Amino acid sequence: FVAGTTLDQAVEAVRTLNATGAMATLDVLGESVEDRAAADRAAAAYVEAIERIAAEGMDANVSIKLTQMGLDLGVEECLSVLAPVAAAGATHGVFIRIDMESSDYTDRTLEVVDRLRADGFDVGPVIQAYLHRSPADVEQLAAERVRTRICKGAYAEPPEVAHQDREAIGDAFVSLSERLMEADAYPAIATHDPEMIGRVSASALERGIGPERFEFQLLYGVRRDLQRRLLADGYRMRVYVPYGTEWYPYFMRRLAERPANAL
């Protein structure tokens, strides 16, 4: 589930993926930070990753969690920490995905995305399909053709905030994906669920939306058989490649999410 503890190991993993036709997104592992110095260190690691992507001509971008960039210290502080990362992305033409965390952070995360985009930076958020608010958020993102990742959502949220029923979450996931495809916003469809992949693929086909107008995203090391099949079927597919010394919490979340993945 983790490419390694160093950027060099992650680069090797991306090279291997690129050789198969897969794209990648690099994620420097780390949890919420409580001081500016730790946030700046995380930002420096992302600048280094972006520079390596450009120097080696890899087909990759980066994914960033804002709590690692000091969001708990305030939106202004977070934007200040992100400034060199956004600048590196702009200099090297590397897209920056802003990951979504629990619903407590949704408004602040979307505010950071809006402000970076207003300054001309190529960034896009993640929307969690199980949140009741997501259709309204996606409507706004679709209107502006913002490059958005759709995922089901993995945080424990109460019924008044998020759907609890698997079928309702699946329907929301497909509906939000369709809206972004129709808007030609190049959405990222992030799921390992073959049923969801099948429904989104069929919907795109019915609407005459070609495979170049969206991409599937899967986690490193998870359902490699499905990753190979998507590539063989001619779809664009990007693998989320996490690395770093703080790998243990991420690893345990993946196991807790679906123990069968370990097998």
Residues in the chain: 263
Residue of 99, 147, 223, 236 marked active site: 99
Contact 66, 107 (CB under 8 A): no
Looking at the whole model, is its pTM more than 0.85?
yes
Which segments of the chain have a pLDDT < 70?
261-262
Which pLDDT score is estimated for 30? 86
The CA-based diameter of the chain, rounded to the nearest angstrom, is: 51
Give the C-alpha separation, 27 to 22, whole Å.
Answer: 16
User: If we measure between CA atoms, which residue out of 137, 73, 65, 72 comes closest to residue 98?
Assistant: 65
Which pLDDT score is estimated for 261? 67
Q: Among this protein's residues, is 253 annotated catalytic?
A: no
Which pLDDT score is estimated for 91? 98
Which pLDDT score is estimated for 259? 80
Q: How do residues 174-230 score in pLDDT, each as one tens digit?
A: 999 999 999 999 999 999 999 999 999 999 999 999 999 999 999 999 999 999 999
Residue of 52, 147, 149, 223 marked active site: 149
Give the C-alpha separation, 260 to 228, whole Å.
Answer: 19
Which pLDDT score is estimated for 200? 98
DSSP the chain: ----SSHHHHHHHHHHHHHHT-EEEEEE------SHHHHHHHHHHHHHHHHHHHHTT-SEEEEEEGGGGTGGG-HHHHHHHHHHHHHHHHHHT--EEEE---GGGHHHHHHHHHHHHHTT--EEEEEETTBTTHHHHHHHHHHTT---EEE---S---TTTB---HHHHHHHHHHHHHHHHHTT---EEE---HHHHHHHHHHHHHTT--GGG-EEEEETTS-HHHHHHHHHTT--EEEEEEESS--HHHHHHHHHH-GGGG-
